[in-house]
């Protein structure tokens, strides 16, 4: 069971800067292909969700603004986040991830079905490299680049983050590219993506890599519940310890 407690601890308050950022994210129409796709999906819907009023807009980040652990994913799912308006909510990836966050103490409950379902994250914040659902779950480089101003402001504002969990290669690379844009990293070459790889970065944070909890990875056994739980146990441990001189750690499993 998770050890989350809300006694004497209310839902984390959204800081003004984050409210402003999320308002801008939701209103964004920078990428015509993604606007067309997300709105088409919201109109046509999946048969199982015909009664739903799909979100159909860019999906803002979600979680504790004072988090020490940042979870950085790829993009909203067409009938998950694009339907519910919250990261990893209402699809199989979320059904796999939130029970793990609950058991490792980052969430107050194991289910995530819709905004307003009572889910609260503590010491964790979830965001994505791209804020709109892309066709075939594959954003193009220009679309990833269009979202970087939002991601940069978000990471800049999350002052207490000590560990970044990069979900999949795109989530992992998104943080490396953030450091490059901030002038803190000259090359990504030493930082190889592999499940459970961890690196102490030039900014003092630890970058921890994980396979993405996609259907393809979880259904084939490439990512097991045990493997994913170990990632967040390690994230919790790292968030609580002092970060030493930046160095690269070993990389256990290949892509």
Q: Quick one: DSSP state of residue 72?
A: E
CA dihedral sign, ordered 231, 232, 237, 243: positive
Helix/strand/coil for 185: coil
Q: What is the pLDDT along the chain (255 residues), one digit of tens a residue?
A: 444 433 333 444 558 999 999 999 999 999 999 999 999 999 999 999 999 999 999 999 999 999 999 999 999 999 999 999 999 999 999 999 999 999 999 999 999 999 999 999 999 999 999 999 999 999 999 999 999 999 999 999 999 999 999 999 999 999 999 999 999 999 999 999 999 999 999 999 999 999 999 999 999 999 999 999 999 999 999 999 754 434 344 444 444
Residue 119 structure tokens: 């889910």
Domain boundaries along the sequence of the chain: 16-240
Task: Concatenate the DSSP letters of all residues of 103-119 into one string.
Answer: HTTSBS-S---STTS--
The CATH homologous superfamily to which domain 16-240 belongs is Uracil-DNA glycosylase-like domain (3.40.470.10)
Distance of alpha carbon 161 from alpha carbon 149, whole angstroms? 18
């Amino acid at each position: 069971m998770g050890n989350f407690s809300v006694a004497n601890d209310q839902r984390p308050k959204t800081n003004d800067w984050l409210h402003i950022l999320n308002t801008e994210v939701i209103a964004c129409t920078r990428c015509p292909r993604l606007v067309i796709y997300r709105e088409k999906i919201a109109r046509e819907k999946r048969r199982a969700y015909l009664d739903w009023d799909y979100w159909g807009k860019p999906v803002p980040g979600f979680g504790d603004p004072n988090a020490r652990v940042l979870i950085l994913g790829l993009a909203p799912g067409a009938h998950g986040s694009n339907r519910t308006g919250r990261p990893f909510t209402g699809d199989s990836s979320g059904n796999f991830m939130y029970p793990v966050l609950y058991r490792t103490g980052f969430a107050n409950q194991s289910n995530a079905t819709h905004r307003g379902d009572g889910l609260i994250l503590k010491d964790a914040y979830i965001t994505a490299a791209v804020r709109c659902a892309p066709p075939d779950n594959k954003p193009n480089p220009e679309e990833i680049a269009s979202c970087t101003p939002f991601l940069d402001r978000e990471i800049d504002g999350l002052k207490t983050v000590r560990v970044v969990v990069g979900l999949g290669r795109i989530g992992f690379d998104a943080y490396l590219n953030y450091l490059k844009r901030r002038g803190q990293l000259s090359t990504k070459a030493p930082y190889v993506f592999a499940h459970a790889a961890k690196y102490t970065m030039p900014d003092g944070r630890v970058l921890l890599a994980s396979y993405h909890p996609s259907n393809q990875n979880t259904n084939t056994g490439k990512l097991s519940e045990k493997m994913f739980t170990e990632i967040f146990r390690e994230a919790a441990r790292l968030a609580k310890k002092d970060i030493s001189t930046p160095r690269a750690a070993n990389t256990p499993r290949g892509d």
